[in-house]
Structure 1
Amino acid sequence: MISLHGPHGPVDHGVLKAGGGLPEHAVWIDLLDPTEEEARQVEAATGIRVPSRAALSEVESSSRLRRLKNGGLSLSSPMITFDRTDLALKPLGFVLTKEHLVTIRFADLRSYETVKTRVAEHDGDCTTSVDIFLLVIEELVDGLADTLEEMSSDLGQLSTRIFDFDPAAKPGSDNGSRGSPKRRDLALRRLLRSIGRQGKSLAKVRASLLGLERIVPFVKDSCPQALGFGEEESPRFDTLSRDIASLDEFETRQSETLQFLLDAALGLINIEQNNAFRVLTVVSVVGIPPTLIASMYGMNFKHMPELEWAYGYPYGLALIALSALLPILIFRIKGWV
Structure 2
Amino acid sequence: MTARCRCVDSVPTRTPRNPRPHAEPSRPEGAVEHAATPDGTDLPPHAIWIDLANPTAEEAELVEETTGLRVPSRQALSEVESSSRLRRLRNGLSLSTPMITFDQADSQLKPLGFVLTKDRLITVRFHDLRAYAEVKARLTNGDGPATRSIEIFLLLMEELVDSLADALEEMGADLDALSTRVFDFDAGARPGARPGDSRAPRRRDIALRRILRSVGRRGKALGKLRASLLGLQRIVPFVAAECGSFAEGDADARFETIQRDIASLDEFETRLTENVQFLLDATLGLINMEQNNTFRILTVVSVVGVPPTLIASMYGMNFKHMPELDWLYGYPYGLALIATSALVPMIYFKVKGWF
> Fold-level match, TM-score > 0.5?
yes
2:47 is equivalent to residue 29 of structure 1 = no
Residues 12 and 307 from structure 1, CA distance in 2 versus in 1: closer, same or farther, beyond 3 angstroms? Answer: closer
| Conserved 8 A contact 1:21-1:44 | no
| Conserved 8 A contact 2:52-2:122 | yes
| Match for residue 137 of structure 2 among 104, 117, 132 | 117
Deviation at 1:11, TM superposition (A): 3.7
RMSD, matched Cα: 1.7
- In structure 2, the residue matched to 1:134 is 154
CA distance in 2, matches of 1:191, 1:68: 49
- In structure 1, the residue matched to 2:219 is 199
| Match for residue 54 of structure 1 among 65, 75, 94 | 75
2:152 is equivalent to residue 149 of structure 1 = no
- In structure 2, the residue matched to 1:246 is 264
Gaps of 5+ in 1: none
| Conserved 8 A contact 2:31-2:146 | no
CA distance in 2, matches of 1:270, 1:189: 13
CA distance in 2, matches of 1:336, 1:175: 19
| Match for residue 163 of structure 1 among 177, 183, 200 | 183
Q: Which has a greater percent of helix?
A: 1
2:327 is equivalent to residue 309 of structure 1 = yes
| Conserved 8 A contact 1:199-1:258 | yes
How much identity, in percent, do the aligned residues show? 64
- In structure 1, the residue matched to 2:90 is 69
- In structure 2, the residue matched to 1:272 is 290
| Conserved 8 A contact 1:21-1:45 | no
2:32 is equivalent to residue 10 of structure 1 = yes
2:98 is equivalent to residue 78 of structure 1 = yes
The normalised TM-score by structure 1 is: 0.94
Deviation at 1:6, TM superposition (A): 2.0
Deviation at 1:177, TM superposition (A): 7.2
| Conserved 8 A contact 2:95-2:115 | yes
Cα deviation 1:75-132 (Å, max 9, x = unaligned): 0000011222221111000000001000000001111000000011121232210000
Residue 324 of structure 2: SS of its match in structure 1? Answer: helix
Residue 307 of structure 1: SS of its match in structure 2? Answer: coil
Amino acid in structure 1 at the alignment position of 2:269: E
Gaps of 5+ in 2: 11-29
| Conserved 8 A contact 2:193-2:200 | no
CA distance in 2, matches of 1:61, 1:173: 58
- In structure 1, the residue matched to 2:66 is 45
Deviation at 1:272, TM superposition (A): 0.3
CA distance in 1, matches of 2:300, 2:204: 21
Cα deviation 1:20-65 (Å, max 9, x = unaligned): 7962652100000000000000000000100000000000000000
| Conserved 8 A contact 2:308-2:339 | yes
CA distance in 2, matches of 1:300, 1:9: 104
| Conserved 8 A contact 2:50-2:122 | yes
> 1:155-304 counterparts in 2 under 5 A?
155-170=175-190, 172-173=191-192, 180-225=200-245, 228-230=246-248, 232-304=250-322
Cα deviation 1:152-197 (Å, max 9, x = unaligned): 1111111111111112223x42778755211111111101110110
Deviation at 1:265, TM superposition (A): 0.3
CA distance in 2, matches of 1:111, 1:3: 14
| Conserved 8 A contact 1:220-1:234 | yes
| Conserved 8 A contact 2:45-2:67 | no
CA distance in 2, matches of 1:5, 1:134: 15
Residues 110 and 176 from structure 1, CA distance in 2 versus in 1: closer, same or farther, beyond 3 angstroms? Answer: farther
Cα deviation 1:240-287 (Å, max 9, x = unaligned): 001011111111100100100000000000000000000000001001
Aligned residues: 332
